[in-house]
Amino acid sequence: MQLSLYPQEPGIVNVMVYRSGQPPMRWVFGKLSAAEAPVPFEVAMSAAGRLTVTYHGSSYSVGAPEVRPRRVVIGCSTGEFEFTDVRVSSRG
């Protein structure tokens, strides 16, 4: 999941799913105010390799059968952020 600001839309953050590779792809599925506030979200991956990102009642799913994560890393490339109420679980 990626949150990005663009000069064309000051004060608006685009909520995207990002896939690296050739070519890299981005799917915008939500927008939020750039005001400082909590951003609740959920990221889930099914056993079949379907990645689903949910934000504020909107979801986006993409097939990612080649992805088999062995660990979870939560971080941000730019800015200062605080993660709260983080839960990592496995079902099945």
Strands, DSSP E only, in 1-92?
2-5, 12-19, 25-33, 41-45, 50-55, 58-63
Q: How far apart are CA 71 and CA 59, in angstroms?
A: 23
Please give the average per-residue pLDDT across 26-37, as a whole number: 74
Please give the average per-residue pLDDT across 36-52, as a whole number: 79
Q: Is position 30 within any domain?
A: yes
What amino acid is encoded at 2 in this protein?
Q
Q: Do 37 and 22 touch, CB atoms closer than 8 A?
A: no
Q: Domain count of the chain?
A: 1
> Residue 2 pLDDT more than 80?
no
pTM over 0.75: no
Tally the residues of the chain.
Answer: 92
Domain limits at 12? 2-63
Q: Is position 76 within any domain?
A: no
pLDDT (0 to 100) of residue 50:
80
pLDDT (0 to 100) of residue 65:
62
Q: Do 16 and 32 touch, CB atoms closer than 8 A?
A: no
Q: Is position 51 within any domain?
A: yes
